[in-house]
Amino acid sequence: MEKFVLNVLKREKSGKGAARQLRREGFIPCIIYRGGESAPIQISSKEILPFMNIATREKLFVTLKFENSEKQAILQDYQVDPITGKLLHVDFMEVSATEKIRVTVPVMLIGEPIGVRQDKGILQHGIPEIEIEAIPEKIPGHIEVDVSQLEVGDAIHVGDIKFEEGIKVLSEPDEVIATVTVEAEEVEIAPSTEETVEPEVIKKGKKAKEEEQE
């Protein structure tokens, strides 16, 4: 897992107003969790944005550097503005170098399947992440899955992936990671040349209604 170092300051004020003020001053409000407890912190936008550009695609191990101490953590969650896409808030989870943690690791498909290249099949992506349990140094940034040998009808499941010793896979082994399917052909339906005959029951019903009105 790639490592990052971010300089951290303790955050004294909380609330939406204080968070907006921090962002105007060039900081992102954050929280670090550990064993049910949490501590508000703030990190410079210039430092955290390069980290987030990678951490949203890769699982990263980060050192949060305080004035007199350091903590090891991973990205737990984050919020962005739905309109502007700007980063609003980040959650970190503190971890121990010797303690196993449960995380989801992104899946990256590599290669062009035989079924796509030769038979015009379609590569279908399955689950985007695999959940594992391991100590931080064993956790990969992403999991590469080679799909180049897949033919039409073939699939790769979680249970087919080989993991390094010390990694426990928590996702179900039969979950599909990738499969190649046949491209569906468009079927053109010719318009009917027969006249549409009004059902007799409707005619009778209409006539009966008219008779009742007379």
209 confidence band (pLDDT: 50, 70, 90): very low
194 confidence band (pLDDT: 50, 70, 90): low
User: What is the extent of the structural domain holding 46?
Assistant: 3-95
The CATH code of the domain that includes 31 is: 2.40.240.10
pTM equals 0.71
pLDDT at 47 over 90: yes
Average pLDDT, the chain: 85
Render 11-71 in DSSP notation, one character per residue. Answer: ----SHHHHHHHHHTTEEEEEEEETTEEEEEEEEHHHHHHHHHHHTTS--EEEEE-SS-EE
61 confidence band (pLDDT: 50, 70, 90): confident
In terms of Cα–Cα distance, which of 150, 149, 146 is closest to 162?
Answer: 146
Asked if 10 and 66 sit in the same domain, the reply is: yes
Domain end among 63, 95, 127: 95
Asked if 47 and 118 sit in the same domain, the reply is: no
pLDDT, residue 202, reads: 40
Asked if 87 and 187 sit in the same domain, the reply is: no
Provide the number of structural domains found in the chain.
2
Domain end among 40, 61, 95: 95
